[in-house]
Structure 1
Amino acid sequence: MFRFFVRLFLFLLLLVALAGGAAWWWLQTPLQLRQTPVDFRIPAGSSLRAAIGQMQAAGVAVPTWPLLALARLQGAETGIKAGSYSLNAGTTPLQLLDKLVRGKVTQGELVLIEGWTFRQWRQRLDAHPDLSHDSAGLPEAELARRLGLPGERLDGWLFPDTYLFDKHSSDLELLARARRAQQQRLDAEWAVRATNLPYRSPQEALVMASIVEKETGREADRSLVAAVFVNRLRLGMRLQTDPSVIYGLGERFDGNLRKDDLLTDTPYNTYTRAGLPPTPIAMPGLASLRAALHPASSDALYFVARGDGSSEFSRTLEEHNRAVNRYQRGKRP
C-alpha cells in the first residue's frame, strides 16, 4: 500500500510538472495571427472576456480560458485599458497581457490648422484613414447642436491643434475635444481680458479673434491688427476687412475679390455693414484670441500689407494712402 501511494504521488507530481511545462511553453510561444499586424479596438468598459472576443474576431488566435487564468493569477483581470491596439508577429500571451494592462495603444494623429474654416477641416477629417467617420452625412447645423454650440456653424468654435487619438475612434469625439479646448481657452482669456473692450460677449471676442487670424500670420502684428479693429469699433467705423467679405461669398468666391464683391451686401460684408460679423469666419488659435482680448496700445486705424508678411500701420487716411501707394502700387513718395 505504501508503494502504491508513493507511485501515485510521483505520478501526480509528474502531471503537475508536465502541466507547468505546458503552461510555460504556452506563455512563451508567439500567438498565431491571421495577418500582421492585427489591429483591434477594446471599447471602454469592456471585460477581459469581451476583449478576448474582440481579439479573436480580429484574427488573434488566443484561447479564452488560459488568458483569463493568467490574468487572474497576475491580478490583472479588471486592469485592462480601453483603446486601439496593434499586434505584430512574435507577440506572446505574456506580452499581450502586459500590453493590455499598460494600455500600450496605437494612436493616430491629425493636425488642424489655424485660420481654416470648418469646411476645410471637414475635408481633412473625412480623409483621415484612422478615424471612424460617424459625422459623415450629418449637416453642420446638426453637428453644432450635438456639440452644444449657440448657432448652426462650427467656425471659430474648434481649437486648432495637433490631436492624438486612438485609432478607429469617432471623429465626433475628436470634434468634441476640439470644441472643449476652444471653450476652455476662450473662458480663460475672457476672464483676464483688458478693460473697456467693445465686446458684449465672449462670442464677439471670438469673432474678432477669427478676423485677426485671417488678417495676419505674423506674431508681432496680431495685437496691432486687433487694435486697429477695436479702435474702429469704438469710433463706429466700419471694419472693412476683406476676409469677412470672402467668407460671406462662400463657394462663390473664386480667389479674386472684386469691387462688386465689396459692394454686394451680405451679413459678413464689413464694407456695407457696421460692427462685427454675426459669427466667426475661421478657427482662431490662442495667439489671435489673446490679441483680440489684449490689443496693443495704439491709435492706428488703418494697415496695409508690406508684401513680406508684415503690415504698415497708420493713424490717418492720408498716411494710409501713402502706405498703399508705396507697398501695393509700388509708388515711392
Structure 2
Amino acid sequence: MLATRVFALRRALALAGVVAVIAVVWFAVSLFQPFGGGEGHGRVVVRIPAGAGVSQIGSLLVRRGVVSSSFFFALRVGLAGDRSRLRAGYFVLHRGMGYGAALTLLLTEPGLPPSVALTIIPGRSRRQAQAQLHAAGVRGNYLRATLRSPLLDPAAYGAPAHVPTLEGFLWPDTYELRKPVKVSALVADQLERFRQEFAKVNFSYASAHGLTPYDVLKIASLVSEEAMLPGDLPRAAAVIYNRLRLGMRLGLDSTVAYATGNYGTLTERDLQSRSPYNTLVHHGLPPTPIDSPDMAAIQAAAHPAHTDALYFIDRVCGNGALRFTASYQQFLSWSRAWDRALALAALNHGSAEFCSGGRP
C-alpha cells in the first residue's frame, strides 16, 4: 500500500514537472517568439504620448494590432533594461510584430507627425481655394475661417476698419500640415507668412502716388489675374497706376469674374453687374483684393514699370504674353484681331491649330 502511494506521488511530481516544463517553454516561446513575431506587415503610425508608461504603451500597441500582449511586451522591455529609453513621438510600426522588433523601432528617433503638403496657388481667391481644399478632402469651412482673425489686423496695412474678409492676406505657398488637416492651422500659417513676406516690400513709390500698402495689395491681386508672364506684371501694374491717375475706369474682366463667381466665359449680364467689384462700371480700385497674389505680383504693384500705356490685351498666339499701348485706336485694332482669332479657334473646335498649339 505504501509503495502504491509512493508511486502515485512520484507520478504526480513527474506530471507536475512536465507541466512546469511545458509552462516554462510556453512562457519562453511567448516571450521571445523564436518561431514567429518578426517584422510584421502593413504600416501603422503610432503616437506615443509624453509620459506614457511601459504598460500604457503596450496596451496602445495591442489596440493598434502591433503586438499581441501588453504583458509580454512590458516584460521584454524590462528584461532589455530599456524602460528609460522609450520616448514620446510618432513611430511607423507594423501589424503583428514581434516584441523585440517593435521595441527596436520604438528605440529609434521618433519621427514627425504624419503630414500632407497643400499648395495654395497664387492668384486664387478664397472661394477658389475653398473648392481646391474640398477637392483634396480637407474638412472645414475655409471661407468662414478667413473672414477675420486675431492673428492679423488689415487696418494695420491701410485697410478700412471693417473689411469683410481676409482676401489678399492669405499667402499662397506650399504648406506642410499635420494630419488630419485643420483649416485653422492652414490659415494661421498663411497669415504668418504674409506678415513675414509683406514686411520685405518697399512702399515708397506707391506712397508717393497716394497709395497705401493695402492699395498695393489690391493692385497686385489684379495683375496676378491679368498677367501670366513675369515680365508683364510691372507693365500691367503701370497701366493700373496710369488709369487711376487719369480717373479712368480700370475695366478689368478679372474683377467681374470675382464679382460674379464666373471664372469662365463672361456673359453680357456679368459685364453689367452692379457689384462694387466690377471695375467696368465703377471707378477706382475694387473694395478689397480679389485673390492671393505672390511676391512677384506684389513687387510689380509696388514698383510698376515706367510706361504711358493705358491698355493691354492678350497677344494672338502669344502663349499668354500681353500687348501694351497708350493708343485707344491701337487697342481697338488688337481687339478686332483677337476676336477674329477666337472666331477661327471656334471653327477649329477650339483647337486653335493656327497657333501651332499656342494660346489664341
Q: In 2 relative to 1, CA 125–302 (structure 1 residues): closer, same or farther, beyond 3 Å?
A: same
Deviation at 1:240, TM superposition (A): 0.8
Name the counterpart of 1:279: 288
Aligned to 2:169: 157
Alignment correspondent of 1:87:
93
CA offsets per residue over residues 30-72 of structure 1, 9 Å max, x none? 6787x722234467xx334477766554443374746876998
Residues 68 and 146 (structure 1), Cα distance of their counterparts in 2 relative to 1, 3 Å cut: farther
Residue type of the alignment partner of 2:307? S
- Aligned match of 1:203: 214
1:121 to partner: Cα distance: 1.5
Instruction: Tell whether the 8 Å contact from 1:140 to 1:154 is kept in structure 2 after alignment.
Output: no
What's the offset of the Cα at 1:239?
A: 0.9
Are 1:166 and 2:178 matched, yes or no?
A: yes
Partners of 2:80 and 2:132 lie apart in 1 by 41
Asked if 1:118 is matched to 2:158, the reply is no
- Cα root mean square deviation, aligned: 3.6
d(CA) in 2 for partners of 1:290, 1:93:
53
Seq. identity, %:
30
User: Which of 22, 26, 43 matches 1:37?
Assistant: 43
Q: Distance in 2 between matches of 1:139 and 1:169?
A: 12
* 1-structure distance, mates of 2:80, 2:188: 35
Give the aligned partner of residue 247 of structure 1.
258
**TM-fit CA distance, 1:270:** 0.6
> 2: distance between equivalents of 1:71 and 1:216?
65
TM-score by length of structure 2 reads 0.68
Q: Distance in 2 between matches of 1:211 and 1:199?
A: 18
Task: Kindly provide the amino acid, as one letter, of the partner of residue 207 in structure 1.
Answer: K
Question: Quick check: 2:203–2:213 contact (8 Å CA) kept in 1?
Answer: no
Could you tell me how far apart the structure 1 residues matched to 2:253 and 2:32 are? Answer: 71
Aligned equivalents of 2:76 and 2:308: distance in 1?
72
What SS class does the counterpart of residue 194 from structure 2 fall into?
Answer: helix
Could you tell me which amino acid in structure 2 is paired with residue 293 of structure 1? A
Higher normalized contact order (CA 8 Å, seq sep 6+, divided by chain length): 1
- Using the size of structure 1 for normalisation, the TM-score is 0.73
Which of 260, 263, 266 is the matching residue for 2:272? Answer: 263
For structure 2, the 5+ residue unaligned runs are 1-27, 155-162, 342-360
Letter in 1 for 2:177: F
Distance in 2 (CA, whole Å) between partners of 1:301 and 1:216 is 15
Distance 1:205 1:273, change over 3 A: same
Deviates more, 1:211-220 or 1:260-269: 260-269
- Partner in structure 1 of residue 194 of structure 2: 182
- The alignment status of 1:144 with 2:175, answered yes or no, reads no
1:214 aligned residue (225, 242, 249): 225
* Cα distance in structure 1, aligned partners of 2:149 and 2:174: 22
Contact 2:257 2:263 in 1 (8 A): no
Residue 308 of structure 2 aligns to a residue in which SS? coil
